[in-house]
Structure 1
Amino acid sequence: MKTQALALGFLAAAAIGGVAWVFIYPLLSGERKAESRRANFAKSEPAARQVDRNQRSRREQVESSLKDLEARAQQESKVPLSVRISQAGLDWSTQKFWTISGVLAAACFFAAMFAGGGFLGATGLAFAAGFGLPRWILKFLKKRREKAFLRALPDAVDVIVRGIKAGLPLFESIKVVAADSPEPLRSEFLTIIETQAIGMPLGEACARLYERMPLPEANFFGIVVSIQQKSGGNLSEALGNLSKVLRDRKKMAEKIQAMSMEAKASAAIIGSLPPCVMFFVYLTTPDYISLLWTHPTGQLMLVGCVIWMTIGILVMKKMINFDF
């Protein structure tokens, strides 16, 4: 009897302990709260994944836009002559440019022959005047136009930022810049307005600014507007950051120019010494130095000296110019 009573008591205690383990222990130990927290976390995970996918999609759009702009810039590395003429701010045709170049070459050739420079010297002078001088003028005009554009671009971006913060659309802000800005910024933004008016998207019209004004700053502006048109975002903040970058780049360029002026002055003095010495020797003893352009050997030596001096000047120019 005692054995049966002990067995029944043990079974009853085991049953009560099992029921308590199943129903009471989870409440005391906090397992249900942990399971509830795990379930809530598992339910919120798809939302987090959705946000991550949205961010990844926008990042992929930005990367694809940058890759497209870089690929287009690489394809357009060889600029046609007509584009270079327009970049210089001239409305000439290519036929007019070649005509002026030919007239310059012929005039310099006959002037050199009349002065007794010989056929070889006259040919070299005609080549320099007809092929080199017009392109140097185009490059000079292009650089001067780009400097004027860079001086006005940060203020124009600030005007666009203030217009957007005031509630104006981007297109209307660009109209304000086109109406009040100096040249060449006015004509470039008027071209953006005209291009957008014929059906081109505003982002692509701003991105094409780099084709007419091949500057990193113009490329930055086109990239910011193009990405905002495709992906959205706070355009005023992006353009405000762009304005700060443009002003910092301007300060850096001025600092580099100030630091390199000594080297540029030295290069100018070294490059001008041979022709100056040649001129003063001609003033004192013209018969002594006139053999350089009257004798065939002297003409050959003179052409070689001009070539080597040109190479030296180009090397010095490459050493004192800084790209950033």
Structure 2
Amino acid sequence: MILILSIILILVGAVNIWTWRRNRERLQVFYNVEVKNTTLSSLVESQLSQRQQSLWQRISFDFNVMMRSYYNLLIMGQSKSRLFVYIFVGTVVGIILNGQYLHYDSYTVALASGIGTVVIMLFLKKRKLKKEFYNTFPEALNTITGIVASGSAITTSFKACGNSIEGVVGKTLKEVDKRIEIGDNIEGVLMNSYQRLPFPEYYFFILTVMVNLDSGGELKEVLSRLTKMLTNNQVLVKTRDGKTAELRMTMTILGCMPFAFIFILKLISQTHYDYLMDTSVGRGILYYVIGSVAIGFIIIKGMINKIV
């Protein structure tokens, strides 16, 4: 069980670090933006770039930012007490299932169940947040573009978006407006809001706002292009999902079949099921099945994501 948990954690960590660095590489061109204000330049260099750091310093920086983002995502929209209840219930369910089917060490299963519950919650919340962001952020950009086009300052548009847009985008922009009104540094407020919306498009948006506040520019045109790009990307994503729906369904069915067979094995032959679960050879086969399914899911998922 410890071996399975270690493999899963290593794979999840590697995929997340690779995804994080890939998103940063897409925006590498914006690190070279020259600004006139020394304070803004220092902010951009210290928070958006890695400067001349060693490999371990960069890994540590990426890991800390990633963990902060995951923590903010985990507690978003719920209290810490409710989060604790969910983790507790998931741990208890894991212990009960272990007693019925797996027969592993209870302490190891309790730890694995708690971590697994957190991972599942992060996956579901990240999926929900991503869907909500890409559905509402173009509307926020249209509102901001209209306010900027009327001659108002960009900072006045955050309040309008917070009052008119539902979901996490509206709440985040409303929080940005409140913190700006009480006198917080706008660059720091925007960078903190990125922890709640860790998406490349929002990253580009706040960097554009920061540069515009410092030196001016065609903000309306840039935001219009960003809105158009988001809309086109959503169309491409929906097209991709439609064309790969059969492949994804097949992948899900094939991935579930080995575990369904194991469950059926318990019903039709308890002796063979006990051999699979209670012997070193049987557990080796089980580890191979879980590992091969997990690796196959990651490879196929990566291939699908590269389409867009």
TM-superposed deviation, 1:142: 2.1
* Distance in 2 of aligned mates of 1:82 and 1:201: 20
Task: Give yes or no for the alignment of 1:199 onto 2:183.
Answer: yes
Task: Give yes or no for the alignment of 1:119 onto 2:109.
Answer: no
Letter in 2 for 1:216: P
Change (3 A) 1:274 1:79: same
Change (3 A) 1:118 1:205: closer
Partner of 2:297: 313
Change (3 A) 1:162 1:96: closer
Unaligned runs of 5+ in 1: 1-57
Mapping for residues 149-298 of structure 1, pairs under 5 Å: 149-295=133-279, 297-298=281-282
Task: Give yes or no for the alignment of 1:79 onto 2:57.
Answer: no
* Distance in 1 of aligned mates of 2:205 and 2:92: 44
Partner of 1:108: 94
TM-superposed deviation, 1:276: 2.1
Which of 67, 70, 76 is matched with 2:48 structurally? Answer: 70
* Distance in 1 of aligned mates of 2:120 and 2:230: 28
Letter in 2 for 1:259: K
* Distance in 2 of aligned mates of 1:130 and 1:224: 40
Percent identity for Structure 1 against Structure 2: 20
Change (3 A) 1:251 1:204: farther
TM-superposed deviation, 1:163: 1.6
Change (3 A) 1:116 1:254: closer
Change (3 A) 1:159 1:299: same
Change (3 A) 1:174 1:118: closer
- Deviations, residues 129-178 of structure 1 (Å, cap 9, x unaligned): 22123122123212211220221111111111112222333222221111
- Deviations, residues 295-315 of structure 1 (Å, cap 9, x unaligned): 554345434433343333333
Task: Give yes or no for the alignment of 1:60 onto 2:46.
Answer: no
Q: Is the 8 A contact 2:91 2:110 kept in 1?
A: yes
Partner of 1:129: 113
* Distance in 2 of aligned mates of 1:161 and 1:116: 57
Greater relative contact order (Cα < 8 A, sep 6+): 2
TM-score, normalised with respect to structure 2: 0.71
Describe the SS at the equivalent of 1:214. coil
Q: Is the 8 A contact 1:203 1:229 kept in 2?
A: no
After TM superposition, the structure 1 stretch with the greater mean CA deviation from structure 2, 96-105 or 197-206, is: 96-105
Q: Is the 8 A contact 1:124 1:303 kept in 2?
A: no
TM-superposed deviation, 1:224: 1.3
Q: Is the 8 A contact 1:203 1:227 kept in 2?
A: no
Letter in 2 for 1:163: I
Q: Is the 8 A contact 1:209 1:218 kept in 2?
A: no
- Deviations, residues 280-305 of structure 1 (Å, cap 9, x unaligned): 34444444434323455434543443
Larger Rg: 1
* Distance in 2 of aligned mates of 1:102 and 1:288: 33
* Distance in 2 of aligned mates of 1:92 and 1:229: 35
* Distance in 1 of aligned mates of 2:206 and 2:107: 45
Letter in 2 for 1:79: V
Change (3 A) 1:282 1:118: closer
Which of 298, 302, 321 is matched with 2:286 structurally? Answer: 302
TM-superposed deviation, 1:128: 3.5
- Deviations, residues 93-149 of structure 1 (Å, cap 9, x unaligned): 4x9857864664355235523x364335x5664444221231221232122112202
Unaligned runs of 5+ in 2: 1-31, 52-57
Change (3 A) 1:261 1:158: same
* Distance in 1 of aligned mates of 2:279 and 2:161: 62
* Distance in 2 of aligned mates of 1:181 and 1:194: 16
